[in-house]
Structure 1
Amino acid sequence: VNFTNIIRVCGYPSRETGAGDSVNAQTMEALEGPLTTVFLPTIYIIVFAIGLPTNTLALWVFLFRTKKRHPSSIYMANLALADLLYVIWTPLKIAYHFKGNNWIFGDGLCKVLVAFFYANMYCSMAFIACISVQRYWAVVYPMSQRQRSNVLAVSISVGVWMLVWLTTIPLYLYDQEVYIRNMDIKTCHDVTRPSQKKIAAGYFLTMGTLGFVVPAVVCIISYILMLKALRSNMGDSTIGQKRRKAVVLIITVLVMFFLCFTPSNMMLLVHYTLLLLEAENNMYGFYITTLCLASLNSCIDPFIYYFISEDFREHVKNTFLCRSQRTVERSKVSFSALKFSKDNTC
């Protein structure tokens, strides 16, 4: 979870001084209140406790247990990596909020934490869009060449990582750590200096538009086209059951996407528009709640993999049962041989 420019959201600007910035009483109350010192770190603890083991397991399954590579598994592995790279930094944020929003880890780590949060969010949306397109392609063109598709999936994944990390460079170029003189604390990404508001607003309005709106449109179009393709075969009882499961999955992924990312990104766009217009903004409570929802995608994604991929479910079960891949393959061969023998018995 990350919340941006608390003073600006609440409509209480800081003022620059030589020795640090000062904030008014209402802003001090917000920085010292239970919303930021109890609620936020509690959410971070949940994200870390669930997200770390589940994403580690998911990444391990995709890298070391899945032998038959296909584009969806490649995109899901990248999504798990993006979530894991964010989750490992959350203990710093937990400590920060429990210490009364006092950042003690230096400006460098503050910038890294901020960059990883936004990189995770925009990588997640991009890879979910890739998964959506891939599933549509698999429904419409099921006989497409797998090897060529895998090469394309790897190339697209590398391109997404390069693009997202290049776009996070501006976050390293302006102050994320700000010293609040009358509270004697250093905030991390919670206070925007007036001299830097145009840089911050321009960056986040651009990222909010390109990083959220474009993947959202891609997901919606892909799933609408997929539903049209699935509807044509719903009359067949054997095919219809599988395709109804696909429809449920489509709805689940879309609900997860819009629940986690739409409120936070819409509020991000509203917040920075008001910031540029220097208008008062009193929607801090709603804004902070939406960003909590955005961080929860790191916990939800592994469960989406579980429902998307039958192979993933099988590998997870085998992992918990301490069954090696070789043992599973031998049992499958034995079962196939036994079935063949029975089928040929008079």
Structure 2
Amino acid sequence: MCTGAMLLLISVFLFYHTTPALPSHNGSVLIPRTFSGHFIMVTDEPVDYVDLSAVDDVSGDGDSGSELKPQSVKRHHHHPSKLYFVSEETKEFLQGHLATALIPTIYTLVFIISVPLNLVAAVMFVHRIRPRKPAVIYMLNLACSDLLFGLLLPFKITYHYHGNNWIYGSFLCRAVTAAFHCNMYCSVLLMTCIGADRFLAVVYPMKSLTWRSPQTAAAVCAAMWLVSLGGIFPLLISDQTIYLSDLGITTCHDVQDVEKLQAFYLYFFPIYSSVFFFIPLIITAICYIRVIQALAAANVDNRSKKTRAIVMTVVVLLVFVVCFTPTNVILMAHYVQMSHSSNDCSYKAYLLSLCVSSISCCLDPVLYYYGSSQCQKQVTAMLRCRRLTRADSSSETRSSRTSGSTISSRSSKMENIHAGLGSQYNRLNLKH
């Protein structure tokens, strides 16, 4: 909580007290974290126009004649406007297949897979699993964070499919951008909490009983949400939309006003990435390495379970590193090189790595939720209930079919008997 509050205060201070952007060596203006763009002030030439109300009759003989007074000619000045421009390489990327086809396709697949999985996981944690242990509370919050992240993806999908043109307004762009980063980094913090909880449960099982309580887990999760919301507050109050007149599109967060945000982002995102990823990465790596060491040194009769636990721990750590490390490393590298050259390639790599990091929403349900023994029992019970209901319904239909066939056969036999009796009665009548 203290770290998030400090980050919020520093971000607001930098936002209102930053210096103007400095030009690079080649004269172009640099924009950190986004594509390089610059604007020029466009002012139209003064236009003379005639004030017809000032026309005066100056002829002495009464003839209708007119002459313009000097004050009747006025000069109208247009207000200056900003026209933003980006490099040709950036134009090709914004309108190319990579940004308008590949990236939204990946987001679409993530949306289709992650939303149902996380929704089922959240419902299962709320209604099925009892008692609610600390690990369950952490995983419930992680499922909610991944679910909210997935529900925001349609905005990103339509934005990229429409040629990186934002059509939902400035406020919604700020809200979606802030919520997008909030849910992503909140997932990182919650994964760190799960790693720390497993570390305490495996390495210090007895000493950590007083710490690992449901109340403590709920308080920690609330703190993670508040810290994440505080971290994205500067994104929520700063404008994120820029209209590119030469492309005819309005970008959302991809191009920024240099004079307003260059120095602010220069300090904000390194601090943001360090607090919300690199520090959690170190904590998570230490916790999982210690868990692997403790499991390897443990004397367990069932070696298959021991091997499975070690493999699951290694896979969870690898997924955490592979999904989120490239995005944040590229982000930090962008700031290192920005004082030397204005290069848009780093932001292209950032957008692609951001797609890779979104895949974690699909992997989290498999690794965290359905990978635990308690969740497996609940899923198996749910599947068994469905199978039992299907079996009962099929048996009922079979019994009804057999009973119906029995009744029909009996009725046909009775009809045959009555027909035989009727024929015999007719024969008797004919004889008599």
Q: TM exceeds 0.5?
A: yes
- The reply to whether residue 66 of structure 1 matches residue 90 of structure 2 is no
C-alpha contact (below 8 Å) 2:39/2:82 kept by paired residues: no
Hey, what's the Cα distance between the residues in 2 that align with 1:276 and 1:112? 30
Query: Which residue is equivalent to 1:327?
Result: none
Task: Indicate how the Cα distance of structure 1 residues 91 and 320 shifts in structure 2: closer, same or farther if over 3 A, else same.
Answer: farther
- The reply to whether residue 223 of structure 1 matches residue 288 of structure 2 is yes
Cα drift, residue 7 of structure 1: 7.4
- The reply to whether residue 208 of structure 1 matches residue 208 of structure 2 is no
For 1:201, give the aligned amino acid.
L
SS at match of 1:21: strand
Cα drift, residue 138 of structure 1: 1.0
For 1:30, give the aligned amino acid.
F
Q: Please, what TM-score do these two structures have when normalized by structure 2?
A: 0.69
- The reply to whether residue 126 of structure 1 matches residue 189 of structure 2 is yes
Hey, what's the Cα distance between the residues in 2 that align with 1:214 and 1:114? 23
Task: Show the 5 A alignment for 1:1-346.
Answer: 12-15=36-39, 17=41, 18-143=81-206, 144-145=208-209, 149-195=213-259, 196-234=261-299, 236-238=300-302, 240-275=303-338, 279-322=342-385
C-alpha contact (below 8 Å) 1:10/1:282 kept by paired residues: no
C-alpha contact (below 8 Å) 1:111/1:171 kept by paired residues: yes
SS at match of 1:283: helix
Cα drift, residue 189 of structure 1: 0.8
Q: 1:293-338: per-residue Cα shift (whole Å, max 9, x none)?
A: 11111111111124531111222333345559xxxxxxxxxxxxxx
Cα drift, residue 237 of structure 1: 2.8
Query: Which residue is equivalent to 1:338?
Result: none
C-alpha contact (below 8 Å) 1:45/1:94 kept by paired residues: yes
Hey, what's the Cα distance between the residues in 1 that align with 2:155 and 2:213? 39
C-alpha contact (below 8 Å) 1:70/1:150 kept by paired residues: yes
For 2:198, give the aligned amino acid.
R
Task: Indicate how the Cα distance of structure 1 residues 62 and 150 shifts in structure 2: closer, same or farther if over 3 A, else same.
Answer: same
C-alpha contact (below 8 Å) 1:177/1:188 kept by paired residues: yes
Q: 1:136-163: per-residue Cα shift (whole Å, max 9, x none)?
A: 1111233454796211111110111011
Instruction: Please tell me whether Structure 1 or Structure 2 has the larger radius of gyration of its CA atoms.
Output: 2
Unaligned runs of 5+ in 1: 1-5, 325-346
- By percentage of residues, which structure has more helix? 1
Unaligned runs of 5+ in 2: 1-29, 42-80, 388-432
Cα drift, residue 164 of structure 1: 0.8
Cα drift, residue 33 of structure 1: 0.3
Q: 1:5-33: per-residue Cα shift (whole Å, max 9, x none)?
A: x9766864332542441223322211100
Hey, what's the Cα distance between the residues in 2 that align with 1:262 and 1:60? 30
Cα drift, residue 275 of structure 1: 3.5
Cα drift, residue 252 of structure 1: 0.7
Cα drift, residue 185 of structure 1: 1.0
For 2:254, give the aligned amino acid.
D
Hey, what's the Cα distance between the residues in 2 that align with 1:183 and 1:169? 30
Higher relative contact order (CA 8 A, sep 6+): 1
Cα drift, residue 286 of structure 1: 2.9
Hey, what's the Cα distance between the residues in 2 that align with 1:38 and 1:88? 20
Hey, what's the Cα distance between the residues in 1 that align with 2:34 and 2:270? 19
SS at match of 2:338: helix
Cα drift, residue 173 of structure 1: 2.0
Task: Indicate how the Cα distance of structure 1 residues 241 and 303 shifts in structure 2: closer, same or farther if over 3 A, else same.
Answer: same
Task: Indicate how the Cα distance of structure 1 residues 100 and 322 shifts in structure 2: closer, same or farther if over 3 A, else same.
Answer: farther
SS at match of 1:102: coil
Select between 9-18 and 194-203 the one with higher mean Cα deviation: 9-18
Cα drift, residue 266 of structure 1: 0.4
Hey, what's the Cα distance between the residues in 2 that align with 1:323 and 1:67? 20
Cα drift, residue 278 of structure 1: 5.4
Task: Indicate how the Cα distance of structure 1 residues 242 and 151 shifts in structure 2: closer, same or farther if over 3 A, else same.
Answer: same
For 1:121, give the aligned amino acid.
M
Hey, what's the Cα distance between the residues in 2 that align with 1:164 and 1:277? 32
SS at match of 2:38: coil
Q: Please, what TM-score do these two structures have when normalized by structure 1?
A: 0.85
- Cα RMSD for the two superposed structures: 2.3
Cα drift, residue 134 of structure 1: 0.8
Select between 153-162 and 15-24 the one with higher mean Cα deviation: 15-24
Cα drift, residue 209 of structure 1: 1.0
For 2:241, give the aligned amino acid.
E
- State the percentage of identical aligned residues: 35
C-alpha contact (below 8 Å) 1:305/1:312 kept by paired residues: no
Task: Indicate how the Cα distance of structure 1 residues 58 and 7 shifts in structure 2: closer, same or farther if over 3 A, else same.
Answer: same
